Chain A
Amino acid sequence: MKTVQEIIESGILEEYVLGVLSDAENQEVESYMQQYPEIKQEVSEIQEILYQYSLQYQQSPRPELKNEILAQIEARNESLPVQEPSKSIPFMAYTGILLGIILSLTFAILWQNEIKNTKKLQLQLQNAKNEHNTCENAYKELKKAHDELIINDKNCHIMAKLKDEKANTCIATIYWSHLTKQTYYKIEQMPKLPENKVCRLWCISNKTPIDAGLLKNTDQGLKVVEPKCDNIEAFAVTIEDKAGENRTAPPRPDEIFIYTPVHKE
């Protein structure tokens, strides 16, 4: 263990001030400085004498240099916020900052939960869609099988084919099933209609036309003709204005597009 005097006389303090020591030696001297006020004083005096020695060389730089250097420092700080040195941050500002942090954290947590919930719901929705698609496909299959069963049944017969004579196409086929005691229609090929027109099916029973609803391109497979009518003599299709979809009036002669009597068995 070196004494203070030994340390001072070793010359290590001069070497420290001159900057020629290794990092480990520098740390050693700095720990002496913390431990012994005399060593700190000695180092301070050596620093002072070298500063005084340096002053022999002092000379003024050209006067413009000051502003150039200050401008350089200013330019480097443009992106940094300017801080007022003597002003302390008021209590309200601290409270505001704290409140801001708490609110931000709360929102962040809520937002995280929201994202989690949204993802969960999206997953559930996707599962439901998949299930729906599966069911829809199963329904289509069943419907197809059901329709085939009715049509192919020996107790089912075609009541009428609603033909567009001009275009030489069949709009729909009407079936009667003894099995189910139902009248069905099946869309074959709908005529091309203007935007403002629709097709309507009529059952003529006891010379009275009964509204059986609109025929649509989207109708798939067998559709039950409603309302249920007995003694149907003929079917008619009208092309009428879209605006009158919920009509109650009987068809006018100029609206009748097809009129087909029922085939007798």
Chain B
Amino acid sequence: MLSETEIIERLKVQDRSVISYLYDHYSTALYGVIVHIVQDTNLAEEVLQETFIKIWQNADVYDAQKGRLYTWMLNIARNLAIDATRGKNYKKSKKNQSFENNVNHLENKNVHHIPVEEIGVKDLVNQLDVTYKMIIEKVYFEGYTLADAAEALNIPLGTLKTRLRTALQLLRKKV
């Protein structure tokens, strides 16, 4: 098992073997998030490819002071996926999905996915009130600004901020 420091060192000197290592260890998490955001496996594959290329090319930009390597990679995947949903073609095909559909989609999502082995993730998500989950989904996975999310969820911005913080506090307590 390589340490984060070793991975970063090897990325920075463009050691190609490290990208294979990263793929083996993180592609499932990244791909899952991407599919969840773009709702299209073909597009998700493209985004996953872009994600690894960006990780490969931008290792110099990574700053360990700002966070762990996997959260950096997750942010790259998440941002690229959100960008992909803002593309012209994507909007055409998905624009009719209603908010309610998204809620149902959210509730039923786990059924199709591989079993989660990490400590109680499935449980903690299931235990979280749907109101809180919606906020995290809107902001973290759909790229809404706080103001837009508040408007979409029809709640005041202040309430949204409080709930967001509460949601994350609850998750932390459960982990």
Contacts and interface: CB of A to CB of B under 8 A. Distances in A.
Nearest to B172: A49
A14 B32 CA distance: 22
A92 interface: no
Nearest to B63: A30
B35 interface: yes
Contact of B175 (A17, A52, A61, A84): A52
Given A18-B139, A34-B65, A61 B146 contact: no
A44 B68 CA distance: 7
Interface in A52-105: 52-62, 65-66, 68-70, 72-74, 76-77, 80, 82-85
A108 interface: no
A58 B28 contact: yes
B49 interface: yes
Contacts of A77: 14, 16
Interface string B145-175: 1100000000000000110110010011001
Contact of A70 (B14, B23, B65, B74): B23
Interface residues of chain B: helix, strand, loop or mixed (majority): helix
A173 interface: no
Interface in A136-172: none
Contacts of A74: 16
B65 A33 contact: yes
B67 A44 contact: yes
B68 A70 contact: no
B23 A54 contact: no
Given A18-B139, A61-B48, A73 B118 contact: no
Contacts of B67: 43-44, 47
A125 interface: no
Given A44-B68, A47-B71, A49-B172, A57 B14 contact: no
Interface in B46-87: 48-49, 52-53, 56-57, 65-68, 70-71, 74-75, 78-79
A72 B16 CA distance: 12
Contacts of B65: 30, 33-34, 40
A187 to B, nearest CB: 82
Interface string A12-56: 001101111000000000100110000010011111111111111
Contacts of A85: 9-10, 13, 15
A199 B139 CA distance: 108
B27 A66 contact: yes
Interface residues of A, number: 46
Nearest to B114: A59
B113 A58 contact: yes
Given A20-B145, A56-B110, A73 B74 contact: no
Interface string A168-210: 0000000000000000000000000000000000000000000
30 contacts: A11-B161, A11-B165, A18-B140, A46-B168, A47-B67, A47-B68, A47-B71, A49-B168, A49-B175, A50-B136, A50-B168, A53-B124, A53-B136, A53-B171, A54-B32, A55-B121, A56-B109, A56-B122, A58-B116, A59-B28, A60-B27, A60-B31, A61-B28, A65-B27, A69-B23, A77-B14, A80-B14, A84-B13, A84-B15, A85-B10
Given A58-B116, A62-B45, A85-B13, 19 more contacts: A19-B75, A19-B78, A19-B140, A48-B71, A48-B175, A50-B74, A51-B71, A52-B171, A55-B121, A56-B109, A56-B116, A57-B32, A57-B36, A58-B28, A58-B31, A61-B31, A66-B27, A69-B48, A73-B19
* 9 nearest A-B pairs in the assembled complex, by CB-CB distance: A58-B32, A57-B32, A85-B15, A85-B13, A47-B71, A57-B36, A11-B165, A61-B31, A59-B32
Interface of A: 11, 14-15, 17-20, 30, 33-34, 40, 43-62, 65-66, 68-70, 72-74, 76-77, 80, 82-85
